[in-house]
Amino acid sequence: MASGSTEHKPAWTPDRIFGFADSQVQGKALADLLGASFEIVDVHYFPDSECRVQLRGHAHRPAIYRPLHIPNAKLIEVILAASVLRDDGAKDIGLIAPYLPYMRQDIAFRPGEAVSQRVIGKLLAAHFDRFVSVDPHLHRTPTLDGVFGGKPSLALTGAPAMVQHLRDRNVSDNVLILGPDEESEPIVKAVAAPLDLPWALAKKVRKGDRDVQIALPEDVPLNRRSVIIVDDVISSGTTVITLTRAVRDLGAKTVDVYTTHALYDDRTADSFSMAGIRRVVSCDGIPHRSNDMSVAKIIADGLLACP
Ligand code: R5P
């Protein structure tokens, strides 16, 4: 889980952002907020599935913007894009990836497993000089620069956007902010504290990709209470569905969900309604139908706040 700020802050803003068609709106919005220019990276796929990447224009402080969900092809594309900037003489290339993939496998949980976080971190650190992300899933590696060999890294959080979203809607004081597990504590507290709302954490044991067991804290009254679940990422949706059923069984009045990264598909969204989730609100770092908070603002505010 990310904290609101981290070590080795960059004190850096790009003068040109290179983005991709799948996240053009957010990349352009970020460039506008930072007073940078924006250029689309042209990606051509050959019949054999290899890609050709082409960038136009020169930059002194370039950054590549791309959320790296569905990551495998995107990782190759951003690395090829960085190589063009390097060949053009850039000494300091930023990667602004609102979503960073492969962060959860930070150890070998079973013998023989690759430690994906370490491998992908090393790969990206060989091509980029600084990193910005939003709620990267940091657990056993406590800070983002630890993923990237000590290179300047800024881990931002979607929490202030969630707070603002709730304030704008006059969130009631009958609300409990609930995290699904201990790892969600920083983001849960960062939402609850400024709103002066009570918060609690459930305990989660993951048995499989779509199989989790959740135990609620015993001393939290849920009857007739509105619950807002806060988590950094929703992937299969199993966590929030299981948690929602548990709080509904104890009489929760409504359940809304706030997340930074929404990765789930439309079928899962239907299951959310059936489980009793009233609404999911996410940041638009990963373009998704639940988006209602601006990642460009989170990143621009974060970069501009650096001394
Ligand atoms: C877990 O460590 C994360 O914070 C999320 O709770 C988790 O990744 C959600 O996954 P899913 O939606 O597949 O249950």
Percent of the chain's residues with pLDDT above 70: 97
Per-residue pLDDT at 3 exceeds 60: no
Residue 237, ligand 1, Cβ within 6 A: yes
Q: Other CB atoms closer than 10 Å to residue 49's CB: what's the count?
A: 7
Mean pLDDT to the nearest integer, 280-293: 98
Mean pLDDT to the nearest integer, 212-229: 93
Instruction: Domains for the chain: give ranges and CATH numbers.
Output: 2-156 (3.40.50.2020), 159-293 (3.40.50.2020)
Residue 136, ligand 1, Cβ within 6 A: no
- CA–CA dist 261, 3 (Å, integer): 15
Per-residue pLDDT at 228 exceeds 50: yes
Pairing mode, strands 37-40 and 16-19: parallel
Mean pLDDT to the nearest integer, 106-119: 97
Per-residue pLDDT at 30 exceeds 90: yes
Residue 260, ligand 1, Cβ within 6 A: no
Per-residue pLDDT at 15 exceeds 50: yes
Q: Which amino acid is at 99?
A: Y
CB-based contact 293:76 (threshold 8 Å):
no
Q: pLDDT tens-digit profile of 150-178? A: 999 999 999 999 999 999 999 988 999 99
Q: Which two tokens stand for residue 120?
A: 């992908």
pTM of the complete model: 0.95
Q: Look at residue 110 in the predicted model and tell me its pLDDT.
A: 94
Spacing of C-alpha 123 from chain mean position: 20
Interhelix angle 295-305/159-168, nearest 10 degrees: 120
Supply the Cα-derived Rg of the chain in whole angstroms.
20
Question: According to the 3-state scheme, what is the secondary structure of the chain?
Answer: CCCCCCCCCCCCCCCEEEECHHHHHHHHHHHHHHCCEEEECEEEECCCCCEEEECCCCCCCEEEECCCCCHHHHHHHHHHHHHHHHHCCCCCCEEECCCCCCCCCCCCCCCCCCCHHHHHHHHHHCCCCEEEEECCCCCCCCCHHHHCCCCCEEEECCHHHHHHHHHHCCCCCCEEEEECCHHHHHHHHHHHHHHCCCEEECEEEEEECCEEEEECCCCCCCCCCEEEEEEEEECCCHHHHHHHHHHHHCCCCEEEEEEEEECCCHHHHHHHHHHCCCEEEEECCCCCCCEEECHHHHHHHHHHHCC
Q: Look at residue 173 in the predicted model and tell me its pLDDT.
A: 87
Query: pLDDT band for position 5 (50/70/90)?
Result: very low
**Distance from the alpha carbon of residue 32 to the mean position of ligand 1, in angstroms:** 32
Residue 180, ligand 1, Cβ within 6 A: yes
| Spatial CA neighbour of 226 closest among 174, 276, 161 | 174
- CA–CA dist 105, 282 (Å, integer): 23
Best residue among 139, 140, 157, 235 to mutate for probing ligand 1's pocket (most ligand atoms within 8 Å of CB) is: 235
Per the DSSP assignment, residues forming a β-bridge with 255 are 227
